Amino acid sequence: MDNKEKELVDARNALIKAKKDLADQAISLRNIKESTSWRITMPLRVIMMILRGDWKALLNGFYHRVPGLAYAFDPKAGGFPSRLQRGLGVLIKKGPRAFIIKIKEGQRNNTAIVDAASNYQAWLECHLQQDQVDANKILNSLQGKPQPLISVLMPTYNTEERFLRLCIESVIGQSYQNWELCIADDASSSLLVHDILKEYQEKDKRIKVVFRQENGHISASSNSALELVNGDWVALLDHDDELHEHALLYITEAINSKEGVQFIYSDEDKIDEQGNRNEPHFKSDWNLDLLYSQNYVSHLGVYKSDIVKKIGGFRIGYEGSQDFDLLLRYSREIDHKNVVHVPKVLYHWRMVQGSTALNSGEKSYTTDAGIKALKDHFEVLNTSVSIERGFADNLYKISWPSVKSDGMEPLVSLIIPTHNGFDITKQAIDSIVNKTTYSNYEIILVDNNSEDPKALDYFIELESCDKITVLRYPFPFNYSAINNFAAKQAKGELLGLINNDIEVINSDWLTEMVSHALREDIGCVGAKLYYPNDTIQHGGVILGLGGVACHSHKGFPRQHPGYFRRLQSVQNYSAVTAACLIVSKSIFNEVYGLNEADLAVAFNDVDFCLKVKDAGYRNVWTPYAELYHHESISRGAEDNPEKLARFNREIDYMTTRWGTTEIFDFSYNPNLTISKEDFGLSFPSRYKNGM
């Protein structure tokens, strides 16, 4: 380690110590406030506030003294006045009970926020030294490789001095030096902003500034900055955010990682006004359906300059979602196989009042602009969809046609294997028949050696129903073979692999799933499943999680938005569970159905989905099809030696066939743990460079 490296490490260690000292001071302050003397003198302090007329401090103290109140009404929804307004709104409109429920939710949120922030700080410290070692390796490896000019695009407007300087310094301090900073000031009224920009322009010839004469807002300002660009690549930077010191270095490594790279994006976190980093967003690799649900790509995004200029840069009238609109239009010009995701935090998004990093509600117009951009996108693609706001601001729900080009609903064959299980099977079938609004379906019940008289009588009764066919499969249980057997006799264009222990919740579940299965590029479609206690049973399948594969967000509360609202977003996963899965019969046959020989019980649905993915289709999961899953009630546990041996053989097959214990699932970031389903941090990171 040379002197400069040692100085850098020493400086960082000093920073860590300083943060620890601050934390110790905070603990000391908390101990003082929790002491008996502090509590005894509280009435005196209240009287002094009243005498001074300091009502704001008095109310603010009360607001933060009630546990959970400060977090109950959206913890990022602004300062005390806005949150108090929300709280009073709940109290007036919904009553005391709803108000108390909100406070209890806030107590849980408070704990989660503190724990997450603490874990992330520990995670950063864990990877600090290794990150520098990796960066040095990349710098050394760049010798003899292309080192393209990267143009950092930055529109400014009345930026606060300290944040503007931090932003510019984060570019100047890049370990990769072949960059230019293209700044367009959007007619700031602040003379200080003008002076700061001139100062930096004179200090570093790589910094280019244009001063607009009229304020045109962010799209027009960004286009003015785009006119300054000479680089092959354009990186977007907001005027109060910061780049990680190795951001452009890792971008350059990504550019050189393979031939034909056309778009690069990274992970990001948020940085508060004191410089503390929190809320890391460790993203999926390219996930088109997730992008249609939310702009998960966001920062840092790096584009080919010539393509950005070809499509006309940023469009006026899409302010608030101008980056999203740009990305959607850009995505039509590139091969999505040439998108590279760098799973490293290369961008720090500033949290200040009025920033979307703090709360999307601060700029509610962003949702409308996003919907407008999506409508334009699908109109150009000549795709008939309807688009509306999703579960929250900046989430989008796209409704695809659930009918074929001739206007007819395709027939769906719902295959339900069962062994005895009268109560749960009847519950499943009744819920489908009584709640499902989609009309063109048939139910194929496959009886596998049932002997319970009550169940057998029920199956005979079902044979007289118009939409129900009962088949007998008189062989040992083999889930794959049973479904393949039924699929051959199914009349539908679409197949539904359905467990006998599901229970329909929302009536349009099948309409939603069919609408995705009819899309030409979609393979398997999965649903959002809950345990009977209203916790998540299935939110998509992640490879490598728990060994071979596990369900995303398992055990989360039903109303939880999920990791960065992924439980509220349609998205692509490697696999979805066949407890409720819709797929076209032609695709089912194309990949030869389920694997009867090697996967009789476990992982056959995962294997099937991976075969479908390998055939060139995207598997999709939707939160808009909701059902209960009373998991494996009819079959029982895998608790005898024979079953355990079979289960181990199936694990071995999956590991050999797909390498599920070694690969990185595209939908799941290597900085996240594979030991639990909670999207917690991985200690250490599983990313190759160690971050």
Band the pLDDT of 357: cuts 50, 70, 90: low
**Contact status, residue 110 vs residue 68, Cβ threshold 8 Å:** yes
Q: What angle do CA 65, 67, 69 make, to 5 degrees?
A: 85
The answer, yes or no, to whether residue 64 has pLDDT greater than 60, is no
pLDDT for residue 129: 84
List, for residues 205-238, the tens digit of each pLDDT value.
999 999 999 999 999 999 999 999 999 999 999 9
Q: How much is the pLDDT for 104?
A: 47
- Taking residues 320-345, what's their average pLDDT? 97
For the chain, what percent of residues have pLDDT higher than 70? 79
State residue 20's pLDDT score.
Answer: 43
- Model confidence at 140: pLDDT above 70: yes
Q: Which pLDDT does position 641 carry in this prediction?
A: 79
Q: What is the pLDDT of residue 537?
A: 96
Compute how many other C-beta atoms are within 10 angstroms of the C-beta atom of residue 379. 11
Rounded to the nearest 10 degrees, what angle do helices 322-331 and 365-380 cross at? Answer: 20
Domain residue spans of the chain: 41-113, 143-318+335-359, 412-630+637-658
Q: Which two tokens stand for residue 4?
A: 């400069």
pLDDT at 459 over 80: yes
- Reported as a pLDDT band with limits 50, 70 and 90, residue 352 is confident
pLDDT at 689: 54
**Residue found by looking up tokens 């960066």 in the block:** 135
Statement: residue 690 has pLDDT above 50: no
Reference 530, options 574, 564, 577, 497; nearest CA is 577
Q: Categorize the per-residue pLDDT at 67 as very low, low, confident or very high, splitting at 50, 70 and 90.
A: very low
The pLDDT of residue 659 is 84
Determine the angle formed by the axes of helices 217-226 and 322-331, rounding to 10 degrees.
50
pLDDT of residue 128: 85
* DSSP H or E run through 211: strand 207-211
Rounded to an integer, the average pLDDT of 453-472 is 96
Q: What are phi and psi of 241, to 5 degrees?
A: -95, 180
Residues making up the chain, counted from first to last: 691
Please give the torsion angle defined by the CA atoms of residues 667, 672, 673 and 677, in that order, rounded to the nearest 10 degrees.
-50
pLDDT at 74 over 60: no
Residue 537 has, within 13 A of its CA and on its CB side, a CA count of: 23
pLDDT value for 425: 97
Count other Cβ atoms within 10 Å, centred on residue 242. Answer: 23
Q: Where are the alpha helices (DSSP H) in 311-364?
A: 322-331
d(Cα 679, Cα 279) in Å, to the nearest integer?
A: 12
pLDDT at 577 > cutoff 60:
yes
- The DSSP letter of residue 507 is T
The residue with tokens 């004191």 is: 274
Domains 143-318+335-359 and 412-630+637-658 share a fold: yes
Which tokens go with 528?
A: 């959002």
In terms of Cβ atoms closer than 10 Å to its own Cβ (0-12, 13-18, 19+), residue 622 is buried
* CA terminus-to-terminus distance, the chain: 18
pLDDT of the residue at 46: 63
CA distance 518 to 515: 6
- 143-318+335-359 has which CATH code? 3.90.550.10
Instruction: Give yes or no for residue 394 having a pLDDT over 70.
Output: yes
Checking if the pLDDT of 1 tops 90, the result is no
> Which tens digits make up the pLDDT trace of 285-314?
999 999 999 999 999 999 999 999 999 999
Q: Which of 38-42, 328-332, 641-645 has the highest mean pLDDT?
A: 328-332
| Ramachandran quadrant class, 266 (left: phi over 0; alpha: psi -120 to 50; beta: rest) | beta
Q: 470-517, pLDDT tens digit by residue? A: 999 999 999 999 999 999 999 999 999 999 999 999 999 999 999 999
Structure confidence at residue 93 as a pLDDT band (50, 70, 90): low
As a whole number of angstroms, the distance between CA 355 and CA 333 comes to 30
pLDDT reading at 101 higher than 90: no
Q: How confident is the model at residue 688 (pLDDT cuts 50, 70, 90)?
A: confident
3-state helix, strand, coil in the chain (%, to 5): 45, 20, 40
In angstroms, the CA 523 to CA 110 distance is 40
The residue-averaged pLDDT of 370-375 equals: 98
- pTM for this model (two decimals): 0.82
- The three-point CA angle 510-416-652 to 5° equals 105
Q: Over the Cα atoms of the chain, what is R_g?
A: 28
**50-82 per-residue burial string, b: 16 or more CB within 10 A, e: under 16:** eeeeeeeebebeeeeeeebbbbbbeebebeeeb
Q: Does the structure show a pLDDT above 50 at 77?
A: no
Lowest mean pLDDT across 308-312, 343-347, 657-661: 657-661
Side chain identity at residue 60, one-letter code: N
Closest CA to 587 of 619, 556, 561: 619
| Residue 452 falls in which region: left (phi positive, over 0), alpha (psi -120 to 50) or beta | beta
- The whole-number pLDDT of residue 372 equals 97
The superfamily (CATH) of domain 412-630+637-658 is: Spore Coat Polysaccharide Biosynthesis Protein SpsA; Chain A (3.90.550.10)
Rounded average pLDDT over 98-105: 52
Distance CA 315, CA 373 (A): 10
User: Average model confidence (pLDDT) for the chain?
Assistant: 86
Mean pLDDT of 275-280: 92
pLDDT of residue 45: 63
pLDDT digits (tens, 9 = 90+) for 186-211: 999 999 999 999 999 999 999 999 99
Averaged pLDDT for residues 325-339 = 98
Q: Is the pLDDT of residue 409 over 90?
A: yes
- Residue 607: what are its φ and ψ, rounded to 5°? -60, -45
Instruction: Determine what percent of the chain is predicted with pLDDT higher than 90.
Output: 71
d(CA 282, CA 563): 9
9 phi and psi, to 5 degrees?
A: -65, -45
Give CA–CA dist 131/133, Å, rounded.
5
Burial, 8: exposed, middle or buried (Cβ in 10 Å; 0-12, 13-18, 19+)? middle
Weakest mean pLDDT among 38-42, 270-274, 320-324: 38-42
* Residue pLDDT, tens place only, 593-651: 999 999 999 999 999 999 999 999 999 999 999 999 997 544 455 566 777 888 889 89
Q: What is the mean pLDDT of residues 241-250?
A: 97
